Amino acid sequence: MLQYIRHYHVFLILSVLCAAISVALTLYNPILIGNAVDQIIGKGKVDYAAVSLILVKMAVLTVIAGAAEWLMNICNNKISYNVIRDMRRDAFERLQILPFPYIDSHPHGEIVSRVIADVDQLSEGLLMGFTQLFTGVLTIVGTLLFMFSINPAITILVVVLTPVSLMAAAFIASRTYSMFQKQSKIRGEQTALIEEMLGNQKIVKAFAYEKESQKRFDEINDRLTDCSLKATFFSSLTNPTTRFVNALVYAAVGIFGAVSAIRGRISVGRLVSFLSYANQYTKPFNEISGVITELQNSLACADRILELIRETPEVPEKEDAAVLTEPDGSVCIDHVSFSYNPQQQLMEDVNLNVSRGQRVAIVGPTGCGKSTLINLLMRFYDVRDGAIRVSGYDVRDLTRKSLRCAYGMVLQETWLKSGTIRENIIMGKPQATEEEIIEAAKASHAHSFIRRLPEGYDTVISEDGGNLSQGQKQLLCITRVMLCLPPMLILDEATSSIDTRTEQKVQNAFAVMMKGRTSFIVAHRLSTIQEADVILVMKNGQIIEQGDHESLMQKNGFYTRLYNSQFVN
């Protein structure tokens, strides 16, 4: 946390300075009050002139102290919310460079909870911590100095009794921190479930899963309630415990001071000042223990968000990584081995050479490694052994951006961001002209339905496409690629959500677009890839057959059985 705070050292110094001024002037007031009391000697013996002057001094000092405290709070707000902004920015930046295994292995809702909910909790505790820290420490030091100047003996009594209050607070706090850690973890689990159920609401309702999802939510919610109650209850014991101990200290000071006053060792005014200091001395301990719940909750949240920020990023690019400026479309997969889980091998010694402009279809049963091969081509994952070369370069020797810009990718799962239709289409080519956008939309057969929307290309859609049909969303994703026209294409069941008539038109548009471009086509419907130059038949992570449609059918092997299963009754 200090690494983030040090960037705002100017506000920190100003805050400490304002805190010192506020505390010093506030602590000087009891001296003035004591002096005023000493001006009231007895009945009819009051020095009104002296008392009036003291009251004016007190009023001026109070105004200055209030202004200093106001400025201190502004500085604390600046520090707290700037630190929170920086942490959120760093967390989001880290998400951009985290390896895919991390993203795939952590619930997305739990990650969202860290960046949003945990940081919010941290901001509240950080603000309280700054406010209490500066004024509290300075108040304790200041009151001790003033008390020593009045009566060292009574001051020593206060100092001796103080550790009792601190030990009580520390004993309780050390046992509640783990509870707040558990609370943050369960809150992340709850956020993950809510996002999962909300994002798949149609499936939930289609399979009448509402009651079961409600049971899962109730179970997590009950655990969160139980954990939160325990954490809050035990941490809340700190405040009354320290207040009780401090009240005993105050009583001891009062009795000892009264005896000293009776014996003439201290004036009544000085005793009044001392009792005021004794009360102010214990106040910071009470305030800090009063916000101990927020502070501990914040520390637990800080641990979770910093854990994300410290997470190991993906393998960095080499310092001399080349920029793929003019890819020729050739791809070589050389003795590649890969597995998501080291204990479970997926791909072993895969080899493939693709020439420029070839259309390569990848087919096979579910789980055979089709999507894995695509992930490796795009370098979403790095190979374990062997190498993948594009235009003669090992992909690990290229910048990721230049490699991925060389591909145009249309997946079976569509993704659209909240914004206008136009903004979604130009994601890969922000500088595209209106004519280029419309031409790409016409080529993908999306122009007709876009034109019927209320604002046409300026129609704003919500996250994931809003009220657009699945087919319309897929057409927009295809339009996005057709606008860029990259030298290589990856089509992963790109027309799976489109009706047959539109599919034929889009396939014709794809055929035009694929001319002269290296294309990788993942397909389950084998009728769509009969024109491919090379068909790779995969099974259990291996390429077991390779050739065009006619040659593979003549082999009467696995591909033939796959084909016949779709077309022969």
- Which residues touch 279 (CB under 8 Å, ≥6 apart)? 250
Q: How confident is the model at residue 292 (pLDDT cuts 50, 70, 90)?
A: low
8 A C-beta contact, residue 349 and residue 335: yes
- Chain length of the chain: 569
CA Rg, the chain, in Å?
36
Q: What is the pLDDT of residue 68?
A: 92
Bridge partner residues of 332 (DSSP)? 353, 389
Query: Whole-angstrom Cα distance, residue 298 to residue 121?
Result: 6
8 A C-beta contact, residue 466 and residue 531: no
8 A C-beta contact, residue 125 and residue 298: yes
Domain definitions of the chain by residue range: 80-309
8 A C-beta contact, residue 326 and residue 406: no
Distance of CA 236 to the CA centre of its chain: 29
- Burial class, 26, CB count within 10 angstroms (exposed 0-12 / middle 13-18 / buried 19+): buried
8 A C-beta contact, residue 295 and residue 128: yes
Q: How confident is the model at residue 151 (pLDDT cuts 50, 70, 90)?
A: confident
Query: Whole-angstrom Cα distance, residue 220 to residue 186?
Result: 7
- Burial class, 308, CB count within 10 angstroms (exposed 0-12 / middle 13-18 / buried 19+): buried
pLDDT > 90 in the chain, percent: 5
8 A C-beta contact, residue 537 and residue 559: yes
Bridge partner residues of 420 (DSSP)? 460
**Across 228-241, average pLDDT:** 80
Place of tokens 């010093």: 24
The Cβ of residue 113 has, within 10 Å, a number of other Cβ atoms equal to: 25
Q: What is the pLDDT of residue 157?
A: 76
Each residue's pLDDT tens digit, 92-120: 888 888 888 888 778 777 888 888 888 88
8 A C-beta contact, residue 493 and residue 524: yes
Element at 348 (helix H, strand E): strand 347-354
Q: Domain 80-309: what homologous superfamily? A: ABC transporter type 1, transmembrane domain (1.20.1560.10)
Mean confidence (pLDDT) of the chain: 82
**Across 11-39, average pLDDT:** 86
Lowest mean pLDDT of 78-82, 92-96, 163-167, name the range.
Answer: 163-167
Each residue's pLDDT tens digit, 452-469: 888 889 988 877 666 787
Query: Whole-angstrom Cα distance, residue 288 to residue 135?
Result: 11
**Across 502-522, average pLDDT:** 78
Bridge partner residues of 387 (DSSP)? 334
Bridge partner residues of 460 (DSSP)? 420
Q: What is the pLDDT of residue 465?
A: 67
Residue 285 sits at the vertex; the CA angle it makes with 281 and 291, to the nearest 5 degrees, is 145
Each residue's pLDDT tens digit, 415-453: 888 888 999 899 888 888 999 999 988 888 889 889 988
**114 or 174: whose pLDDT is higher?**
114
pTM across the whole model = 0.64
Query: Which of 81-90, 94-103, 232-241 is predicted most confidently?
Result: 81-90
Q: What is the pLDDT of residue 60?
A: 93
* Residue 71 confidence (pLDDT) above 90: yes
Query: Whole-angstrom Cα distance, residue 76 to residue 129?
Result: 9
First to last CA, the chain: 67
Q: What is the pLDDT of residue 291?
A: 64
**90 or 515: whose pLDDT is higher?**
90
Nearest by Cα to 164 from 236, 238, 242: 242
Residue 271 in tokens: 């005793």
Nearest by Cα to 115 from 315, 307, 314: 307
Beta strands in 421-550 (DSSP E): 460-461, 488-492, 518-522, 534-539, 542-547
Distance of CA 25 to the CA centre of its chain: 42
8 A C-beta contact, residue 84 and residue 127: no
Q: What is the pLDDT of residue 70?
A: 92
**Across 195-217, average pLDDT:** 80
Query: Whole-angstrom Cα distance, residue 359 to residue 88?
Result: 44
**Across 143-161, average pLDDT:** 80
8 A C-beta contact, residue 138 and residue 19: yes
Lowest mean pLDDT of 137-151, 152-166, 349-363, name the range.
Answer: 152-166
8 A C-beta contact, residue 556 and residue 381: no
The Cβ of residue 551 has, within 10 Å, a number of other Cβ atoms equal to: 12
**Across 313-322, average pLDDT:** 84
Query: Whole-angstrom Cα distance, residue 529 to residue 512?
Result: 15
Nearest by Cα to 315 from 251, 364, 367, 381: 381
Place of tokens 């084998």: 526
Q: Is the dihedral of CA 522, 526, 529, 535 positive or negative?
A: positive
Nearest by Cα to 438 from 457, 454, 423: 457
**Across 483-493, average pLDDT:** 84
Query: Whole-angstrom Cα distance, residue 107 to residue 193?
Result: 9
